[in-house]
Structure 1
Amino acid sequence: MTTTATTATATTTATATATAQAAALLVEAVRAGRTAEVVSLLDGMTDAERRTCFPRLKAVRQELRAERWSAESRRAQPALHAAGAACQTGAAAVANWLAAVDMRWSQASPAVLLHVLGDRDPAWLADVVHRLAQRPSGSNVSYELMAGLVRLAGCPVPTTEAYLRGWLDHVSGGWQRGGTVCDRLRRDPHLAELVAALFRTEGIGAQLGWLSADGPDGWTGALARLTAEGALDRRAMVDACVARLLRGGASAELRVFLRLLHDLALTPEEERLRTADWTALASDGVPTVASHAQSVLGTLALAGELAPRRLAEATDAVLFRTEKKLVRAQLVLLGKVLARDPAAAGDLLPAAAGAFGHEDSDVQERALKLVERHVGKVTDPQVREELAGAAEQLIPALRSRAVRTLGATPPEARPVVHEEVLPPPPLPVRLTPAPATTVEVAEDISALLASGSDVAAFERTLDRLVRQAHRDREALLEALAPVVARRWWADPELRRGHPSDGFFARRHELFDSTRAFDLLLATLYGEVRTDTLHRVVREGVPNSGCAHNSLARPFEARMWEAAHRLRTDPQPFLLATPTWGTGLLEADELVDRLDACRRAGSRVAPVDFGQALLRVRRDDRTAAVAAAERAAALGTEEGKRLARLLRAERTAPSVTRRAADTRILVELGEVPDLQGEEFPAALRLLGRPASPYSDRWYCAHWSDEIRRHWFAVLPERPELVAARLLRDVSGVAVDDQRGAAAAVLPRLAEADGEAGEAAHLCLAYGLGARHAEDRLAAVDALLVLAARGRLDADRLGADLGQLVRRGAVKAARLADAVRTAAATGANATVWAVLRQVLPVLLADLATGARTASARGLGELLAVAAECAERTGARGGLPHLSSVADRRGASRLVTQARRLRAALAADSAAA
């Protein structure tokens, strides 16, 4: 008995020792990256022995993860990848290991993995492969591995996005194995299931289209050939293709399915059975798909396979589309059908009359010509009456013609009464008072750091921080602790040995409000040295060397001064906190704050007070003079300076227009009232001459968020800001850049001061911007300025004329913008602008000059003609007749004739 127990113990010990030795050998081979040796060791182990090795492999992985990109890690990762998968028994655990992020770029080969996993139960393998296939397509799971597991398990093929994308790449990249795409697909045992999944999976079409070359070796050609051979069911393929197009999506996604539909070459019977589908696609499909559906319906109609009533239904849908090409093609189709089948006039002409209300007058004229040509074939009086009623939607010139040809009712003789529709001017937003608790301050700062802020939120939060730091610094630090813990400068790893200074000692620029608050918070928590704060306040923020320097430095100087005072002499409040969201500060409120400082014995911060002087309201002269008396009565130096400022008149800088390449920009002269000694050096930059040309065109002030704060520096003088931002805004039209107009123009339109030459040039460039969001921002600014009575339409029109003529603004883009503005009801405003634009452009045509402005001029004339018709504008337009008298029926000529007719109409007629 004792001998048996001793023998068993010895055996167990020997087994454990052997297992430990095998595990040590496995780990050694893994570290050395000897994958073949790893596979050999694993083949000699039982499942139990493999499981005992896994904890050591897990430790190796944790060790290598710390230096993921080291040579040792890259060498060991493939062997570790294979060994870790083989030493686990749970399907979920193995799938997680195989798709781990830290081993994504250094995996074992699919052949090795299939070898070490191939002896498992088929059901287990099926579980693993379906778990892998459910991973996101970016997980870099090998398709060869998944396909091999499917083959070993004999399970249904997964049809997830990751598996499909891998299959597409595998088949398309199989040129090394010889044969065409069609040959490789023909050999695939899961062809039908995977092809069916292509139509169900969103986003797969773009990849399929990118991989699908033109010709018989492309994917669509191969699928069409396999369908013809019977390897794929034809009806299922056609139905799936049409259903995918009906589901819609991006053009890039649908283009490949449309190409496949072409390659399938539907028979007339197959097309006839899907008439409802073609109607739906013509109505709601993307333009390329709708065009195909329209051509199929046209073929059926001309072959007599489509009833006139069904064609009329499709026409009603197509005429609602915005694509003029589709609308015109539909009218051409109706003309062909009516020429072949006159009896269809009763159904088709009312449908064609739906184009009488189209926004494009050329479409209206085409529709009217079609109806006029075939109205004699209509025998039903009700249809004729319907056509005459529809003619009321036509533009005046065409409506007058319809009176003669369709028997439409003449309009009543009365003057045109136009009511201009402009948005209500934006109401100023008053800043709310500071909160009473530190918790509220911490919440406000957290929100600002997370998502940025507008001027009102930033100034309110800044003032609250300063007040609470003066009132109860310790409570504020405690409330801010959770907020600060998430900031980059509070992380020892990121500070890299600079615990008390970090980033702020090396870089003084504050490119947005978030970085400004990082400076203030880091100062509160002692992460910025006092000598750094002293140096920046004494020497100033370095010159950035760019055109934005004079705008950025006042903002930055004020933030550094606030940080310095937080450390050395906390202020009870800030003087420059505005009264209104635009940055404007009421004079009486500033006097009250100066009085409170006097009574508290608080030292006034120079930059903060200088900023307050720039923000104080001066346009209300009565209130300004009264506030000046109160300020002078304070008896302080700051009170006297404020009184002098409120009594003084503003001086306007000289403005010089400069043209370079295609741009027109402005330069400002000196502004004497901003050069006084009462302003610190950083603020006096605003009064120096300004030019959009600088040695550095590219700078770090790329954030759109910071630009709104620059308008708040000079809330009553937006022209000084606009001149410095003019080159940025011009880039949206000249260089096809994005975002500058959307960031600048709304603030420019809402500013409290008058809009001058630079502001109108900014607006002109915005109306010609390349991107729609910038043009929409410009349209909004145009309407807001008009509603506030601050738009100089003549100046804007003259600027636009010159910019279009020089090629800085494209006429087609401008036409899109002013059409949008007119659609809101601002027809008189748009006409007042175009009345100045058009003569400049028409003069070039009249003299035979070949300019870029001719392209798109027809669209501008169309918008002008519509505005003239709606407002009842009358009178001549220079050079218009020379274009209208040209021969031909181009859009330029027809719209010139339309505008001339509108301007020459009898003022007593409608």
Structure 2
Amino acid sequence: MTATVTTATAATAATATADTTGLLVGAVRAGRTAEVVALLDGMTDAQRRACFPELKAVRQELRTARWSAESRRAHPALHAAGAACQTGAAAVANWLAAVDMRWSQASPAVLLHVLGDRDRGWLADVAHRLAQRPATSNVSYELMAGLVRLSGCPVPTTDAYVRGWLLHIGGSWQRAGTVCDRLRQDPHLAELVGALFRTEGVGAQLGWLSGDGPESWTSALARLTAEGALDRRAMIDACVARLLRGGAPAELRVFLRLLRDLALSQEEERGRTADWTALASDAMPTVASHAQSVLGALALAGELPPRQLAEATDAVLFRTEKKLVRAQLVLLGKVLAKDPAGADELLPAAARAFGHEDSDAQERALKLVERHVGKVTSAGVREELAGAAEQLIPALRTRAVRTLGATPPDAPTVCHEEVLPPPPQSVRLAPAAASVVEAAEEISALLASGSDVSAFERALDGLVRHAHRDRDALLEALEPVVARRWWAEAELRHGHPSDDFFARRHELFDGARAFDLLLATLCGKVRTDTLHRVVQEGLTNSGCAHNSLARAFEARVWEVAHRLRTDPQPFLLATPTWGTGLLDPDALVDRLDAYRRAGARVAAVDFGQALLRVWRDDRSAALAAAERAAALGTEEGERLARRLTTERTDPSATRWTADARILLAMGEVPDLQAEEFPAALRLLGRPVSPGSSHWYCSHWSGGMRSHWFALLPERPELVAARLLRDVSEVAVNDQRGAAATVLPRLADSDGEAGEAVHLCVAYGLGARHAEDRLAAVDALLILAARGRLCADRLGADLGQLVRRGAVKPARLADAVRTAAATGANATVWAVLRHVLPVLLADLATGATTPSTRGLGELLSVAAECAERTGAAGVLPHLSSVADRRGTSRLVTQARRLRDALAAAPAA
């Protein structure tokens, strides 16, 4: 009887549990959060745990249609129910912060209600687990703070918690009081403010949250420090330590503003002299300038001994920022005028500027030393100053002979030795992977991180070879690679098969997208009729300047995909011999012979690409290979023989100007328009018009450009003309990256550098961003080392671009100074001697153009190069500028250059 009652009771309980679970799941699906909370409040822990498997199943079901109306309706209720029906802190934290719950969560109030009856230690565990999540997890700060409040645990100071706190206190939706008022009421103010200085990246967030007005964060923190809510010494120490640690300028500016708002007393500043010296030495310019001003105020107040000021001066004069150097020299002058007794220690420090790269800084330092050298009491210091004067430029050193007793400079001699980088050596491609496992590994690496031409071509040839030898073994080796690709599932998000996706979006932006098409074809995800249609009908004209380059590359990839499905090739004919894309003619003859013996069908685009890549500049090797090709007795052999014996024809080029730009229009290339080339490759011989830029262009990926250069490895002009507008953007519109991706490949190309290449280098030298300018400097030096630089042409182009405002003189000066610093003084002078007359002519006629600003910097670099190389002669219009009154940088550097050119070097 007892067993019967027990069984009946268990059955009743199970039925009740099932009913409760059904009610809860129904309320979750309907999105009735209030009903879900009411049901959870009436459940025991066991009943809640029993509901969780069903909730988990609902979550899995909603994942398949994450953005549907049903999913958006159910997720907030599911979020709350799933958290309440689990007992492990780790499991609950994972549920609350799950990616699929991120954009449709239950409110913090609801979550705190359903979790609030748990043990305080458990709540603390969940709070800290959530706080340890990355800030990108978007865990609600109100939820974390509520759990901390309910548990009474120490406040977390993790990145996610601190950033959430910042948004909670400083968010624009907060209407109750000011930032200062809200901070004053926070019970964890000291701990969280201390964490601000330890959390990377919060400075920039502080800046955009509230700006720099009276209601800003920095003002609020300074006010609370003054009120005593925050420890003043701890705030100052933390702020200075944060500035010493360095970081992004946007972040450090906020902490510098806070330091200023704290308004340190002279005693507080004096106690941190070593910190100010370190900041003046190594910090970013804005922070260094503040530290310099603090040290200057202490020095003028007599609170900084000459020895410490000399140490700070040594550090500052080592910097390249001219403003900081000048300010330090001015400070030394004021201190010496007030206290001459410090001359023995301060003047040797000032003489450190004798070796500064800026001749204006050298002259200022020399004037300072000349003015106060009479106050020096030690003969050893005088000798030290005279020795330091040997670092001065020749004109200043001659003056130092009279004033400091320096050693007279030697008579100028022509002894300059130009230093240029070694010309790049062509690197041969390694053979294709010998095994399917190695081929799969190479393809996986390429998909993960992109590739250059060598890696792409080697992996492509390996894929083709192994698909021909043993397709099943290749597919088995590729299984782990394919499983991670976006097209591996039968259907995409919007219901389109991957086949339709490739057919509609055939642009292959980089090598990875190309291999996605090939692998999807191997795995049967692309229909044969789609491949056939694209190969037969061609690809859509994008209407932009890159169309011919992109279509040529894409046509070959689509052809390879089609052959993988219908008639696998034994290997590719167009695989280059060298990394630049060049193909050895003898190697191509050998491949055609292997095709002939195997009876394999030659692919039209692949063979056409091989003809474009075959090396013809070595005429003897080309003619010998032509004889072998003709002897094959095949149509392809005859075509190759004709290609190798035909002289290359270069298109006519005319200049085309628009706004500040100078671009090129090119005519048709007859030898690329032959009917024997496939239609996609004949596009490369079509005329180039700068006005053909389409309003929309999908070729934004820099990873594709290296493959474009490999299409025509001996003719970089044809590629450069099509990319000239892109490269011009780095100077005209301050965009980033185009020069850094294009110019190194232009310089490494095997063909001659013409107008388009030189114009690309000219735009790069005037780029807004340093990485683009450095790429242009490298290209300049490599072209010079290979004997392909026309300094006259580049100088004339730069002169016109500066005159039109496309290139700013200050940016150009920075680039050529970098080039000269490598030892290429003669190369830089050869360019500048054609740039300067164009710009000086505007000054001579009184015209005011963009070229007149920053011209002094260019003259400074030119003068230094002329002094080092012993250049002589007359530069047009230079004397008219040098004869002007005044001591502006423009005039002083013009005089310096004129004197350098007038000096007669000894033989």
Give matches, 1:295-444, under 5 Å.
295-444=293-442
Contact 1:547 1:697 in 2 (8 A): no
SS of residue matched to 2:655: strand
- The answer as to whether partners of 1:533 and 1:564 remain within 8 angstroms in 2 is yes
User: 1:522 aligned to 512, 520, 523, which one?
Assistant: 520
2:114, 2:487 → 1: CA distance? 48
- Partner Cα distance (2:520, 2:832) in 1: 54
**Alignment match, 2:798:** 800
2:466 matches 1:468: yes
Q: Relative to structure 2, which stretch is displaced further, 706-715 or 748-757?
A: 706-715
Q: Which amino acid aligns with 1:135?
A: R
Deviation at 1:8, TM superposition (A): 6.0
Match of 1:552?
550
Q: Deviations over 1:646-680 (max 9, x none)?
A: 33322222221122222111222233333333333
1:377 Cα shift? 0.2
Equivalent pairs, count: 907
Distance 1:198 1:615, change over 3 A: closer
Q: Is the 8 A contact 2:487 2:498 kept in 1?
A: no
Report the CA distance shift for 1:119/1:568 in structure 2 as closer, same or farther (over 3 A): closer
For the residues of structure 2 that align with 1:183 and 1:894, how far apart are their CA atoms? 57
Q: Any conservation in 2 of the 1:500–1:529 contact (CA below 8 Å)? A: no
Paired with 2:57 and 2:588, the residues of 1 have a C-alpha distance of: 66
Residue type at the aligned position of 2:830: A
1:718 positional shift: 1.7
What are the superposed Cα offsets for residues 559-581 of structure 1, whole Å, 9 maximum, x if unpaired? 33333333343333333222222
Query: Which one of the candidate residues 577, 593, 597 is aligned to 2:575?
Result: 577
Aligned to 2:291: 293
In 2, Cα distance between equivalents of 1:105 and 1:575? 51
The structure-2 alpha-carbon separation of the partners of 1:14 and 1:544, relative to structure 1 and needing over 3 Å to count, comes to closer
Please tell me the residue identity of whatever aligns with 2:672.
L
Q: Deviations over 1:843-900 (max 9, x none)?
A: 0111011111112211111111111111111111001111111222222112111111
Q: Give the aligned partner of residue 160 of structure 1.
A: 158
Structure 2 distance, partners of 1:782, 1:795, is 12
Q: Is the 8 A contact 1:159 1:197 kept in 2?
A: yes
Higher mean Cα deviation, 656-665 or 646-655? 646-655
Contact in 2 for aligned 1:500/1:526 (Cα 8 Å): no
TM-score (norm 2): 0.94
The 3-state SS of whatever aligns with 2:237 is: helix
| Partner residue of 2:448 out of 447, 450, 459 | 450
1:602 corresponds to which letter in structure 2?
A: A
Shift in Å, 1:18: 4.6
Structure 2: how far apart are the matches of 1:549 and 1:119?
A: 65
Q: What is residue 709 of structure 1 aligned with on the other side?
A: 707
Give the Cα–Cα distance (whole angstroms) in 1 for the partners of residues 614 and 877 of structure 2: 49
- Give the secondary structure class of the aligned counterpart of 1:363: helix
Cα distance in 1 for partners of 2:577, 2:460 equals 14
In structure 2, what is the Cα distance between the partners aligned to 1:523 and 1:86? 47
Q: 1:112 to 1:518 in 2, by over 3 A?
A: closer
CA distance in 2, matches of 1:515, 1:106: 33
2:412–2:904 Cα contact (<8 Å) kept: no
Aligned residue among 698, 717, 734 for 1:736? 734
2:830 corresponds to which of 829, 832, 852: 832
Any stretches of 5+ residues in structure 1 without a counterpart?
Answer: none
Aligned residue number for residue 125 of structure 1: 123
Alignment of structure 1 residues 468-617 onto 2, 5 Å: 468-494=466-492, 501-617=499-615
Q: 1:848 to 1:724 in 2, by over 3 A?
A: same
Question: Is contact 1:489-1:502 (8 Å) kept?
Answer: no
The question of 1:39 aligning with 2:54 is answered no
1:749 aligns with 2:754: no
- Give the aligned CA root-mean-square deviation in angstroms: 2.6
Do the aligned partners of 1:767 and 1:779 also contact (CA within 8 Å) in 2? Answer: yes
Aligned to 1:693, what secondary structure does the other structure show? helix
Q: Which amino acid aligns with 1:190?
A: H
Q: Aligned to 1:429, what secondary structure does the other structure show?
A: coil
Of the three residues 184, 197, 200, the one matched with 2:198 is: 200
- Which residue identity lines up with residue 692 of structure 2 in the other structure? S
Change (3 A) 1:110 1:440: closer
Give the Cα–Cα distance (whole angstroms) in 2 for the partners of residues 473 and 24 of structure 1. Answer: 52
Q: How far is the alpha carbon of 1:826 from its aligned partner?
A: 0.6
TM-score, normalised by the number of residues in structure 1? 0.94
**CA–CA distance in structure 2, aligned partners of residues 196 and 586 of structure 1:** 66
| Partner SS, residue 603 of structure 1 | coil
Whole-Å Cα distance in 2 between the matches of residues 79 and 438 of structure 1? 50
Superposed, which structure 2 residues align to 1:499-898 within 5 Å? 501-694=499-692, 696=694, 698-898=696-896
Query: How do 1:226-265 and structure 2 match up within 5 A?
Result: 226-265=224-263
Could you tell me how far 1:372 is from its partner in structure 2? 0.7
Q: How far 1:310 moved relative to its partner?
A: 0.6
* Whole-angstrom distance in 2 between the partners of 1:576 and 1:468: 17
Q: Which residue identity lines up with residue 670 of structure 2 in the other structure?
A: P
**Partner amino acid for 2:872?**
R
Match for residue 187 of structure 1?
185
Contact map agreement 1:883 1:896 (CA 8 A) in 2: yes
Q: Aligned partners of 1:50 and 1:352: how far apart in 2?
A: 78
Q: Which amino acid aligns with 2:445?
A: A
Amino acid at match of 2:406: A
Change (3 A) 1:44 1:582: closer
Deviation of the 1:74 alpha carbon? 3.3
Counterpart in 2 of 1:274? Answer: 272
Distance 1:566 1:18 in 2: 61
Distance change in 2, residues 1:310/1:795 (3 Å): same
* Distance in 2 (alpha carbons) for counterparts of 1:750 and 1:104: 48
Q: Matched residues in 2 for 1:350 and 1:212: separation?
A: 46
**Cα–Cα, structure 1 residues 128 and 402, in superposed 2: closer, same or farther, change >3 Å?**
same
**Higher mean C-alpha deviation, range 626-635 or range 349-358:** 626-635
Q: Check whether the contact 2:491–2:498 (CA below 8 A) recurs between aligned residues.
A: no
* Deviating more after overlay: 857-866 vs 174-183: 174-183
- CA apart distance, 1:354: 0.6
**Same amino acid, percent of matched pairs:** 84
Q: Which runs of 5+ in 2 are unaligned?
A: none
Higher mean displacement: 564-573 or 392-401: 564-573
C-alpha deviation, 1:215, in angstroms:
4.6
Paired amino acid for 1:483:
V
Q: Comparing 88-97 with 844-853, which one deviates more in the overlay?
A: 88-97
- String of CA shifts for 1:659-711, please: whole Å, max 9, x gaps: 22221112222333333333333333333322222162532222222222222
Q: Is the contact made by 1:868 and 1:903 (CA closer than 8 Å) also made in structure 2? A: yes
Deviation (angstroms), 1:726: 1.7
Distance 1:882 1:388 in 2: 34
CA drift at 1:98: 3.0
SS in 2 for 1:839: helix
Residue type of the partner of 1:745?
A: L
Q: Measure how far apart 1:784 and its partner are.
A: 0.6
Quote the offset at 1:788 in angstroms.
Answer: 0.4
